[in-house]
């Protein structure tokens, strides 16, 4: 065995897939994200938590090229992508599963899934990937000739994820997959997200208001408030943090009645 091989064997730190530095994005004069910096390592599920209006969707739109930032950089595996068009970013392996799913309601399930492969022309591999998607979401196979608009909310979320997988993403951006779903369906979707991460090696950046399911699934988390990152740590550390438990997980903390903490006094989370 050469020295080279033994140096490489299993000891290398995970690669950074996505690195965001000092990002600022605006809607007209309104600054929606304010100097956001974060990293997503290969193979991980990274969650960005935040209340409604925190800037989560804006962050994902800026990464996927739907919006251009005013300042800052989005770097994917060594290349700055913040000025690239959305379709070029898909070709580089970043797929955005948007808030509210945005499936094509009048097209069938199968047609929606096929649309996800718009950047590809490797027909055989596309067919194999369709089968892969249906293996994760058997209900979509049963419903494949049905118009997508007639699916339930949970099935539409599955379809949006399935369509995203068809682009062979290296990094999937998921915008509130739990939105509008029952706890049971949310659980089901998150189990599949974790399986896709492990089995299909899709790195995930997942924004959520539902801190419980997101932190259960994630390796690492960031908390956004009013366009800024206010906290970041390993998911299990965040899940155990009193601030997170109080504001996101609905755990009441008796001791808080006496010793008020800083965040309580400037509470802006819901």
Binding site for Mg ion (CB under 5 A): 56-57, 99
Name which position in 57, 186, 203, 241 contacts ligand ADP (CB under 6 A): 57
CB nearer ligand ADP, residue 161 or residue 224: 224
Does 54 bind ligand ADP (CB under 6 A)? Our answer is: yes
Q: Binder to ligand ADP among 6, 22, 52, 83 (CB under 6 A)?
A: 52
CB distance 76 to 94 below 8 Å: yes
Token look-up 């938590």 returns 49
Tell me the closest approach of the beta carbon of residue 186 to Mg ion, in angstroms. Answer: 16
CB of 176 to Mg ion, least distance (A): 6
Q: How far is the CB of 138 from ligand ADP (least distance, A)?
A: 31
How far is the C-alpha of 259 from the C-alpha of 76, rounded, in Å? 43
- Which one of the spans 16-24, 26-34, 145-153, 182-190 is the region binding ligand ADP (CB under 6 A)? 26-34
Q: Would you say 27 or 78 has its CB closer to ligand ADP?
A: 27
| Residues paired with residue 223 on neighbouring β-strands, in sequence order | 49, 231
Cα distance between residue 55 and residue 109, in whole Å: 31
What span, in angstroms and rounded, lies between the C-alpha atoms of 60 and 173? Answer: 7
268 binds ligand ADP (CB under 6 A): no
Q: How far is the CB of 211 from ligand ADP (least distance, A)?
A: 13
CA 168, distance to chain mean position in Å, is 15
Nearer to ligand ADP by Cβ, of 51 and 126: the residue is 51
In this complex, which beta carbon is closest to ligand ADP, that of residue 43 or of residue 100? 100
| CB-nearer residue toward Mg ion: 99 or 216 | 99
Instruction: Report strand pairing: 220-225 vs 228-234.
Output: antiparallel
Tokens of 130: 């369709």
Closest approach of ligand ADP to the CB of residue 62, in Å: 9
In the chain, which ranges are continuous DSSP H helix? Answer: 3-8, 56-64, 86-91, 109-115, 123-136, 138-142, 153-165, 183-199, 211-217, 235-240, 242-247, 262-265
Pick the closest to residue 74 from 3, 256, 65 (CA basis). 65
Angstrom distance (rounded) from CA 161 to CA 157? 6
Rounded to a whole number of angstroms, the minimum distance from the CB of residue 200 to ligand ADP is 26
| Residue 168 binds which entry of Mg ion, ligand ADP, none, CB below 5-8 Å type-dependent | none
* Binding flag, residue 82, ligand ADP (CB under 6 A): no
Which of 68/99 has CB closer to Mg ion?
99
| Residue (of 235, 200, 244, 234) closest to 217 by Cα position | 235
Looking up tokens 């599949």 gives 192
For residue 62, the minimal CB distance to Mg ion (Å) is 13
Q: For binding to ligand ADP (CB under 6 A), which residues are involved? A: 27, 30, 32, 50, 52-58
């Amino acid at each position: 065995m050469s020295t080279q091989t033994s140096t490489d064997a299993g000891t290398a730190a995970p690669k950074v897939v996505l690195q965001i530095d000092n990002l600022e994005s605006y809607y007209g004069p309104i600054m929606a994200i304010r100097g956001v910096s974060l990293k997503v390592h290969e193979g991980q599920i990274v969650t960005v938590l935040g209340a409604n209006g925190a800037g989560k969707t804006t962050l994902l739109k800026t990464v996927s090229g739907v919006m251009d930032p005013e300042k800052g950089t989005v770097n994917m595996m060594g290349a700055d992508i913040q000025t690239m068009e959305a379709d070029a970013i898909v070709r580089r392996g970043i797929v955005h599963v948007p808030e509210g799913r945005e499936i094509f309601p009048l097209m069938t399930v199968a047609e929606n899934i096929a649309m996800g492969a718009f950047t590809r022309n490797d027909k055989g591999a596309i067919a194999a990937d369709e089968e892969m998607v249906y293996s994760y979401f058997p209900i979509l196979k049963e419903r494949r000739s049905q118009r997508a608009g007639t699916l339930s909310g949970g099935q539409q979320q599955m379809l949006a994820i399935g369509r995203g997988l068809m682009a062979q993403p290296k990094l999937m951006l998921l915008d509130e997959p739990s939105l509008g779903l029952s706890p049971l369906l949310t659980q089901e979707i998150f189990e599949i997200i974790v399986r896709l991460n492990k089995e299909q090696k899709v790195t995930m950046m997942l924004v959520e208001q539902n801190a419980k399911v997101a932190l259960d699934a994630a390796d690492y988390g960031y908390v956004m408030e009013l366009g800024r990152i206010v906290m970041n740590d390993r998911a299990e550390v965040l899940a155990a943090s009193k601030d997170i438990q109080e504001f996101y997980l609905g755990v009441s903390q008796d001791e808080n009645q006496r010793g008020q903490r800083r965040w309580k006094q400037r509470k802006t989370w819901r």
